[in-house]
Chain A
Amino acid sequence: MYAFNYHKPASLEEAAELMANADDGAYLSGGMTLIPTLKQRLASPSDVIDLSGIEGLSGLSLDGNRLHVGAMTRHADVAASTAIPALADLAGRIGDAHVRNRGTLGGSIANSDPAADYPAAVAALDATVHTNKRSIAGGEFFTGLFETALAEGEIVKSVDFCVPDSAAYEKFPNPASRYAVVGVMVARCADAVCVGVTGAGACAFRATALEEALSADFTPGATDGVAIDDGDFNADLHASAEYRAHLVAVLTKRAVARLI
């Protein structure tokens, strides 16, 4: 780890100001990605701005059919929540107990790791990401590999999700890291069927071809024969793009089977 200036601001305004004044600042949320990166000397921020001292950024609250989740809410707290069982299930399958007790929703989505779990829910549950500056539609939040719509210095305050009629998350974990090789959340909100996919591509996305097929016929068999374009899919030691595309179909089918 290289030396850096550590700050623990008490407000979002102070945090943003510290970031604006830093040569090369980094926000610290749960630290589940940043800390190992620092320890391996893979990042050398001049200033680390710890967001954990800012009040009001954590906790869950239900408002009609929207579930608000504060950005600093730990995975373990989401896993223990009841409003959206599929979201709780997803959170309970992130990393291990240590990670779930430290890692946060905001930190996860701001990092836009292609293999993180939460992005599948952001994509599938008609989410809105609220920042210190604006609100961003879930479908527009993830823009690429470790890239989001967040502007320089922008801080995620909370995310709200639609409470679906039903939803299920199917995950195919990387056998080594237990990140998602592919994760699929299938959700039914009113008449719409949403299929949020993580792990397969550069960032989370909605599988529109599968959604169309399932909107017409919400049965596991409806996904058979739906072409999944793996042209931009990830490929690594554990899974080729072709295999990932296959898993998207299989996991979608399994999620649907759990919902009927």
Chain B
Amino acid sequence: MASQNGIGAAVKRKEDARFITGMGRYTDDLGAHGQTYAMFARSPHARAKIVNIDTAAAAATDGVVAVFTGADLKADGIGDLPCGWLVKSKDGSDMIQPPHPPIAVDAVNYVGEPFALVIGETLAAAKNGAEALSVDFEELPAVVDLASAARTAQIHETVPNNQCYDWELGDKAATDAAFEKAHHVTRMDIVNNRLIPNAIEPRAALGEYDAAAGSHTLHTTSQNPHLERLVLAAFVNVAPEAKLRVISPDVGGGFGSKIFVYAEETAVIWAAGKTRRPVKWTAERSESFLADAHGRDHVTHAELALAEDGEFLGLRVQTIANMGAYLSTFASSVPTYLYGTLMAGQYKTPAIYVEVQSLFTNTAPVDAYRGAGRPEATFVVERLVETAAREIGMDATDLRRRNFIQPTDFPYETPVALTYDTGDYEASLDKALAHVHYAAFAQRRDASEAAGKKRGIGFSCYIEACGLAPSQVAISLGAGVGLFEVGEVRVDVTGSVTVVTGSHSHGQSHETTFAQIISEKLGVPFENVTVLHGDTGRSDYALGTYGSRSLAVGGSAIVKATDKIIAKGKKIAAYMLDANADDVEFEDGSFNVTDSNQSLTFAEVAFAAYVPAKYPLDELEPGLSEKAFYDPPNFTYPAGAHVCEVEVDPETGVVEVVQFVAVDDFGNIVNPMVVEGQVHGGLAQGIGQALLEHGVYDDTGQLLSGSYMDYTMPRADDLPSFTVDTTTTPCTHNPLGVKGCGEAGAIGSTAAVINAVTDALGVASIAMPATPETVWRTARGE
């Protein structure tokens, strides 16, 4: 019998009571005795030399505690912010990583880049001090347009043509040969629009220095506090790892943007040591727009070669990816190993060749944002497939079926370096088409037409590689860190359980879902399980949460630890019951001796473990607490079919999403309600990219969409009531059979929306976001 609140149950979230009653404890809720406030002075220019910074008036401002410039940090031995993934160019050379001082020293390279830090007794004093800085900038022409960025002014002295790397993946000769024998080639130019993440909680940091212990404590909004600590200790030289504790308390959303090690928390924790005062910084929303890492931003030319019967023969993709002004923590990996490797999609395309040139521009750094590379790849593949179907006059779903990897083909090795373990793509598509009532679409289109509207339908059959990642694969491809996870299961004396996980929840519901796993595995009541996370002082080195990895990797580590708990519990029970350990079974929370009526509850064994009266302590240590590291043997491959139906008002260009169906295969599911919530959020972001969201700089590098007045966040009334369903092929290589669900909505949906809009308008393509004016102009043939 599975526990009532075990795996598969739609248990209500443990987190919600405190979040919805305002009892969450976020970084900005924290305060320390003697706390000061930090204000960052930020560049008003997209590109300029810093000729001189006069800090005298700022330092003399009432209430100002200290003023620091980049030169101060540098003089104190603070290093550059590193990028953690080394990508190599086609010619074997390493990518070029320009210096990235946390606080600009000689030059500023994007609007919003910090060039000084003012610490005040109050925030107002810090702001007054920042305004009193006198800075002599020598403005330089900004490089903003991505497509031409390799042919304009050089931003960094060490980076010719502003090129970070020129990377390739796949067999070029085989792909070219496939195109030579093609019956039909579909060609597309695609721009994947820049997005600005916008977690509800802005980034924040509270740095403290304990002079007695000589140690630093940093509370910050990080998705991966251990990585933050590693970088700050090993690369930035803030403090030795053992003298630096990083805590991520409640965090209100990340979407990738809180993976990275940023200038602000680096400067704050350093300044706390320097001033011997706690230093607090909380981003204002306008700072989030300017200085959080942005997402996407690709310019791509892609081609799909087809045989006469619609068989895919080859895929060729050339992408220019925007890195922004500096390499953010994982920026280099996003348009390469998280993008090129996904180009097979759900199809048996035999030859694929991907080239990616990553360029610097005078814009905010670009890094992973929900899906990270995989939404961009899905958009390329699924726009091409849909367009090819229209060009050759084949139903878009039939063309997909013609090319799907079949269930019998697994494990399936793609031409772009991945081996899919399992899947059933047609099952998801079939289910999605049933939900969307595809057969009746023509009637609905006629009804819209009669009402003066244009209706369109679009599909997207996506795949993603999640559960990042097999460490040795990632390291061989350039990752600077392993990507395992740690899980610790501490059974308390009375049989309740405390789980310490290296995963970090900033909305993912780990306190609930991980408790469900424990409840299922150990038979402990769900209420008696507490999940702790987000503190380098509590857990072993861990890698945190991103890439839909928490359950597949972090959850697997917890399962491994519970296995150890059960194994030890059996030994203890055997001594207590005078049985052979091999004859003890554990089921439904009881240790039973086979073929007997002797049994002990889990709580009884836990108590005995800590009150070790009956077993030989030289053979068996007291206590019942186990830890496991789990390194996955492969990625997981969630996949699914998204179908979008839109109605366009041709007079105004307004697009209404009238129906959205997402059928996803996430493998086994621990909490279907949590999964549905994850899918909803992802869909909102994917639909947002297609229709609403756009990070726009003007020609001089000023951010035009720098507030909610101009950056269109998706709202409830922009979205239909989603139809969300699942199919299941359990992951074959992790103990839970799970694949991950955090990013799927954002990965699959964007292409479905644009496929629907272009279908409605009867056009080959449309720019994203498909705003009303864009749609109106496209409909007019402009």
Contact = CB atoms under 8 A, between A and B. Distances in A.
A237 B704 CA distance: 8
B773 A239 contact: yes
Contacts of B704: 237
Interface residues of B, number: 22
A212 to B, nearest CB: 22
Contacts of B694: 237
A153 B692 CA distance: 41
Contacts of A98: none
Interface string B697-711: 000000011001111
A175 interface: yes
A250 interface: yes
Contact of B773 (A177, A179, A243): A243
Contact of A176 (B127, B652, B708, B772): B708
Interface string A238-251: 11100100110010
Nearest to A40: B286
Contacts of A250: 651-652
A206 to B, nearest CB: 22
B776 interface: yes
A225 to B, nearest CB: 15
B652 A172 contact: yes
B773 A41 contact: no
Given A40-B286, A41-B127, A243-B773, A238 B652 contact: no
Interface string A160-195: 000000000000101111010000000000000000
A238 B774 CA distance: 9
Interface in A214-251: 236-240, 243, 246-247, 250
B154 interface: no
A230 to B, nearest CB: 13
Contacts of B776: 243, 246
B709 A177 contact: yes
B713 interface: yes
Nearest to B123: A1
A243 B696 CA distance: 19
Contacts of B712: 175-176
Contacts, number: 45
B121 to A, nearest CB: 15
A98 to B, nearest CB: 14
A237 B651 contact: no
B237 interface: no
Most chain-B CB neighbours within 10 Å: which of A1, A237, A239?
Answer: A237
B771 A175 contact: yes
A246 B711 CA distance: 23
Contact of A240 (B708, B710, B718, B773): B773
Nearest to A1: B124
B705 A237 contact: yes
A247 to B, nearest CB: 7
A177 B652 contact: no
Contacts of B692: 175-176
A85 B652 CA distance: 25
A1 B124 CA distance: 8
Nearest to A177: B709
A69 to B, nearest CB: 27
Contacts of B771: 175, 238
A232 B652 CA distance: 21
- The A interface is mostly helix, strand or loop, or mixed, namely loop
A175 B709 CA distance: 9
Contacts of B651: 250
B646 to A, nearest CB: 15
A176 B713 contact: yes
A176 B124 CA distance: 29
B708 A238 contact: no
B715 to A, nearest CB: 9
Interface string B674-708: 00000000000000000010101000000011001
A176 B773 contact: no
Given A175-B712, A250-B651, A238 B773 contact: yes
Contacts of B127: 41
Contacts of A240: 773
Contacts of A1: 124
B477 to A, nearest CB: 39
Given A238-B773, A239-B773, A250-B651, A177 B286 contact: no
Contacts of A176: 692, 705, 708-713
Contacts of B713: 176
A173 to B, nearest CB: 10
A3 B127 CA distance: 12
Interface in B53-104: none
A240 B777 CA distance: 11
Contacts of A247: 652
A41 B284 CA distance: 12
Contacts of A172: 652, 772
Nearest to A39: B284
B28 to A, nearest CB: 16
Contacts of B124: 1-3
Interface in A74-102: none
Interface string B642-676: 00000000011000000000000000000000000
A41 B713 CA distance: 24
Interface string B600-627: 0000000000000000000000000000
Nearest to B704: A237
A234 B362 CA distance: 28
Contacts of B652: 172, 247, 250
Interface string A122-160: 000000000000000000000000000000000000000
Contact of B710 (A2, A40, A177): A177
A253 to B, nearest CB: 8
Nearest to B712: A176
Contacts of A236: 710
Nearest to B709: A177
Nearest to A3: B124
A66 B332 CA distance: 66
Interface string B112-149: 00000000000010010000000000000000000000
A238 B694 CA distance: 11
B286 to A, nearest CB: 7
Most chain-A CB neighbours within 10 Å: which of B652, B692, B696?
Answer: B652
A1 B127 CA distance: 9
A189 to B, nearest CB: 28
B443 to A, nearest CB: 26
A194 to B, nearest CB: 23
Contacts of A243: 772-773, 776-777
A176 B712 CA distance: 4
A237 B705 CA distance: 8
Nearest to A247: B652
A177 B696 contact: no
A174 B711 CA distance: 10
Contacts of A179: 709
A40 B284 CA distance: 10
A49 B614 CA distance: 80
Most chain-A CB neighbours within 10 Å: which of B718, B771, B773?
Answer: B773
Nearest to A243: B773
Contact of B772 (A40, A175, A177): A175
A1 B131 CA distance: 13
A247 B654 CA distance: 11
Contacts of A246: 776
A240 B776 CA distance: 12
A182 to B, nearest CB: 10
A237 B286 contact: no
Interface string A29-45: 00000000000110000
9 contacts: A172-B772, A174-B709, A175-B771, A175-B772, A176-B692, A177-B709, A179-B709, A237-B704, A238-B710
Given A2-B124, A175-B772, A177-B710, 10 more contacts: A176-B692, A176-B708, A176-B711, A176-B713, A239-B773, A240-B773, A243-B772, A243-B776, A247-B652, A250-B651
10 closest A-B pairs by beta carbon, nearest first, are A176-B712, A177-B709, A243-B773, A175-B712, A250-B651, A176-B710, A239-B773, A237-B710, A237-B704, A250-B652
